[in-house]
Amino acid sequence: MDTFLTWFASARPSYATISGLNMGSPRAADSPLRHLLMDGPTDKPVDRLVLSLNVQGNHWISVWVDQPQLKATLYDSLAGREGKNNAKREDAAAELLQNIRPLMVVGGDKQWEVVSKQCAQQPNKNDCGVFALVNTYRLVLDLGVPDTIDGPV
């Protein structure tokens, strides 16, 4: 998952991604992860972060972060199937995002705004990784997330 995200993000200026493995507990503001939030050529904060988060240890969701606005938009391919669990996944994603907050140089004391948006819904409980990759790929290319994904995945 992380290899694909890095590849997608590298295609666009001022976009970045952070490995889900690195989001568990970054330390202080001088963490080596901080450089991932900076645009190498300009040494300015990247505008967008694209993430696929593994929430609750069993489900992948796509996250689009507008770093200057400190706004995270979640795209959950199970949201329509299991609405009751959606709030739990949003809370879990917000907690993971809070872990990278100390590494960010924008936003001051502002707190995360976390919103969910509609995306294609997977037909089963097994395809979340593929749906997360498709959503992230399309977000990076400014194509928007699809309402449906036709055909086998």
User: pLDDT tens digits for 33-89?
Assistant: 566 666 666 767 778 888 888 777 788 888 888 888 888 899 999 886 655 566 777
Instruction: Please give the pLDDT value at position 64.
Output: 87
At residue 143, φ and ψ (nearest 5 deg) are -95, -10
Q: Which residues are CB-contacts of 121 (< 8 A; sequence separation ≥ 6)? A: 77, 78, 79, 80, 81
* Prediction pTM value: 0.74
Q: Domain 2-140 is of which CATH architecture?
A: 3-Layer(aba) Sandwich (3.40)
How many CA atoms within 13 Å lie on the side-chain side of 16? 20
Listed by start position, the domains of the chain span 2-140
- What's the CA dihedral at 25, 29, 32, 33 to 10 degrees? 60
pLDDT reading at 90 higher than 50: yes
SS3 39: strand
Which residues have CB under 8 Å from 4's CB, separation 6+? 133, 136, 137
